[in-house]
Chain A
Amino acid sequence: MQSVIRTHLESVSSHSCYATELSFINSSTRRRSPPEWIMKTFCSVWLLLSLVELRPALPVSQETPLACRGPADPALQQPETPEEMDTTGDLEPTHYPARRAATVALHYLNTRHGSPYRVFGLQQVHKASAEDVAAGGRKYSLDFSVTTSPSGSAGPALRCSAEVLFPRTEQHTPPDVQLNCEALQQLNSTAEDEAFYQKYITPDSAVSAQYLPDSYGNMSEDMQPFWRLARVAASFIMLRESSENTEFNMAQVASITQQESSEKQLMLDYVVLLHDLPSQEIIQWKLLASWSPDSGVRVLQMEWQPRCPHATKPPN
């Protein structure tokens, strides 16, 4: 019991109370002078109150997990809105509120300018701030740098600025993004994109594969542009599903099946597995994407595929 109290005292971390209580525990025979007695009573009361506080007062989350439940519903999600989420003004660039907003901006950037040989990734957030807006929502202003895959950190970094507005509504509303990156207008379709397009737009092309990358993180070079296309297409979904309480990445491409090309667009059926960091859930989506160097990536159909974790107990 003593060690429980001791660890609890340390956890609530008020040094003067801790020291007083510790001395009380350690030296019960010492006669106490009046001021110390008052301090001891105060600390005991405070300790009792803190014990009460520490018992969970609110159920933190009872609802079905994201993988089962599906599209983000901020009303039901993470229990605590950390103080930083409510602060107006400058945000710490390495902390998660700025990073989540930047991730949303990246999803948007990929939907507009992603291609088989260009996927944008967040390099660093330089500056960030947030403010509540009149209509009921929160607007983040961001200054950040992005890299592109495949070249990654070896290639040049682009400097971007963005405003990301998360509406705070009953039903989930996708965030709104205004974005500006230097030299974006100069980004044209690369030669590799063109070559990839020519190779697979042929009528008899019927690429299909499963699990990219494989369990070991490995992927043939041939399949990498297909993986990147999936990543861009998934950005449409991740953008739509994002809130201040989510942080999405694409964990894996479960399957890819090339469909018959239509109107000079490559047509690809994908099943993608998305990972949400705060809930740690893996969410499965099926989508139909089209791409050509001129039109960019479009998502024509998307369907959430609930994957409730396997029930194990046989019916009684």
Chain B
Amino acid sequence: MSQNHGDTIPLNASSAQSDMDEIESLIYAAPSATVLPARPTSPPRASIPVSTSPLPAPAKPPLPASSIPIFVPQAPPASSAAPPASVSVAIASDGFGSAPNTLTEPVWDTVKRDLARIVSNLKLVVFPNPNREDPGKALRDWDLWGPFFFIVFLGLTLSWSASVKKSEVFAVAFAVLAAGAIILTLNVLLLGGHIIFFQSLSLLGYCLFPLDVGALICMLKDSVILKIIVVTVTLAWSSWAAYPFMSAAVNPRRKALALYPVFLMYISVGFLIIAID
């Protein structure tokens, strides 16, 4: 009776049962129908240009139980993607008892899985490895937790190092990095480049890792010469990490136009690290 609204799909146009009960009975009727695949790796991400965005099933006519699109699709990647996505995946699968349950697993397992992903992304992006030059492979399993940790950590470190106006320092650092990452991605898109928005945000965040290390060292040891050296080295490392991805995304004639703002952002953060005492 109620037509399709958003993501609830009435399986039976006129049924006295509630939707959830219907679905549950259907699932138990076909026990082998796994609602969603197991999740040893992350859910399939959009690794293709955004123009073919995976707009979810709500518009499709009602399908049999095995492909109930209750799972909140990757469409709202607005905030930190990984754990919410895994929880909502789990709700669909676990609530009906058949698929592996990421909902009832120990918290440590969830955290460990996300940490493992962060570490593997870090290794791909920041450290030399044979896959670096291929942007498609480099950060296929992107996530936003890593960048979030790195940005907040950098802000906190700078704030701890500062002697006056600590909260303002954190605010400036956080704003520069977060807004900077978004603006840099938009810049590439506007120049006619082909990147995926959140993959690029993720990459720019991961490339902050060397600067994080540099900021930590500068906080612990307070000599200006050492700071300059450390910041120069880590700055070069960050730029080297970000270079292949950014330069591959645009037309070669506009490569410098896309890369310059990246260097500008990292240099300004490097300057903040040196100057804050």
* Pairing of A with B: no
Give the interface of B toward A (CB within 8 A).
Answer: none
Give the interface of A toward B (CB within 8 A).
Answer: none
